Amino acid sequence: MHVYALVGSSGTGKSHRAIRLAAELHCQVIIDDGLIIEENRILAGTTAKRSTTRLGAIKTALFQEEEHRDQAREALLRCSPKGILILGTSEGMVEKIAARLELPAPEKIVYIEDIASSNEIRKARYNRAHHGRHVVPAPALEVTRNWTDALINPVKVFFQKKGSERKTWAEQSVVRPTFTSLGNLSISSPAIIAGISHQVQDIPGVADVGSISITHGDDGVTVRLPITALYRQPLHILGRKVQRLAFDILETMGISVLAVDVTIEKLLIK
């Protein structure tokens, strides 16, 4: 068994780059934030995002609870990986995780500065500080299936008023399109548009969906969504429902969203 480590301070984009690095190092398992992740599924563990305090999150990430540690050990024994990549904020942290799970000490430590430019690290820190985004190195469906109760609703974070304080320190989890040993998984704009249009049309009060446009940026997408609304209803409430649904659809697909702009272009009187 070969054990490697990826080290970088919090918010520098380690999780976002973990799957690609794991593939390069021939690692079948990633240990990140209290989770044991094998290629495209979560084998065991508890995300540190469940914790309500920083101390609790650190204990979870280090597998200090016996039940949590034992579950992780059993999962590693079952899958018997030839390579493991451990993520941590320091050399000491990854060494403690390896020791706690009875793994060999990391034979090679990769630093985030070795695989990401200073500009990319700045962007990752900006997303963490201003948008509360934490990338989970697992597919969206796998995350939804395993910890629906642990994730913060991204819509709540997105629609939070500027200047308002978050009630907890926990971050929003964003699952980006998955990298696998087969290559990159990408979702085309027509597929995204079709998915949004189909579900938005089912909202009571929406008579029709116009031509949706998507603009791609470095940090996510901006969606412009025109609709025709039925007369005699609060239009601002309808617009917000459409906006929330479209945003939720995109995040579930694993797409980082900058904005969803809804325009009520027409009123249909029946």
Give the residue from 175, 25, 43 showing the smallest Cα distance to 101: 43
My answer on whether 232 and 132 are in the same domain is: no
pTM of the model: 0.55
Tell me how far apart the alpha carbons of residues 192 and 197 are, in angstroms, rounded to a whole number. Answer: 9
- What integer pLDDT is reported at residue 117 of this predicted model? 81
The torsion angle over the Cα atoms of residues 167, 171, 176 and 178, rounded to 10 degrees, is -130
Task: Give the model confidence (pLDDT) of 231-250 as tens digits.
Answer: 888 999 999 999 999 988 88
How far from each other are the two terminal CA atoms of the chain, in whole angstroms?
A: 69
- Pair (32, 153) in one structural domain: yes
**Per-residue pLDDT reduced to its tens digit, 139-187:** 544 444 444 444 434 433 333 444 444 433 344 444 444 444 445 555 6
Q: How does strand 183-184 pair with strand 179-180?
A: antiparallel
23 and 56, same domain (yes or no) = yes
Say if CB 212 and CB 230 are below 8 A apart: no
CATH number of the structural domain spanning residue 234:
3.30.70.1350
Tell me whether residue 49 is exposed, middle or buried, using C-beta atoms within 10 angstroms of its C-beta: 0 to 12, 13 to 18, 19 or more.
Answer: buried
Whether residues 170 and 197 fall in one domain? no
The count of structural domains within the chain is 2
Same domain flag for 70 and 142: yes
How high is the pLDDT of residue 9? 83
CB atoms within 10 A of CB 67: 9
What pLDDT, on a 0 to 100 scale, did the predictor assign at position 160?
Answer: 40
pLDDT in tens, 125-150: 776 665 555 555 555 444 444 444 44
Are 163 and 38 within one domain?
yes
pLDDT of residue 161: 40
Same domain flag for 34 and 148: yes
Final residue belonging to a domain, choices 132, 159, 182: 182
Instruction: Show Cβ contacts of residue 19 under 8 Å, excluding neighbours closer than 6 positions.
Output: 30, 137, 178, 179, 180
Average pLDDT over residues 95-102: 92
Residues 220 and 160 in one domain: no
Q: Could you give the strand order of the β-sheet that contains 2-7, starting from the edge strand earlier in sequence?
A: 41-45, 35-38, 29-32, 83-88, 2-7, 108-111
Q: What is the pLDDT of residue 177?
A: 43
> Are residue 57 and residue 164 in the same domain, yes or no?
yes
For 6, the domain range is 2-182
**Residue 119 pLDDT:** 81
- Whether residue 37 contacts residue 142, with contact meaning beta carbons closer than 8 Å, is answered with no
- Mean residue pLDDT of the chain comes to 77
Compute the distance between CA of residue 137 and CA of residue 179 in angstroms, rounded to an integer: 9
Alpha-carbon gap, residue 90 to 88, rounded angstroms: 6
Please check whether residues 20 and 42 belong to one and the same domain: yes
pLDDT of residue 241: 93
CB atoms within 10 A of CB 25: 15
Residues 42-98: tens digit of each pLDDT: 788 776 665 657 777 788 888 988 999 999 999 999 888 999 999 988 999 999 999
Clarify whether residues 176 and 197 are in a common domain.
no
Q: Are residues 96 and 18 in the same domain?
A: yes
Listed residues 144, 166, 182: the one ending a domain = 182
Of residues 120 and 259, which shows the higher confidence score?
259
Q: Which of 182, 199, 225 is the last residue of a domain?
A: 182
Residue range 96-117: mean pLDDT, rounded:
90
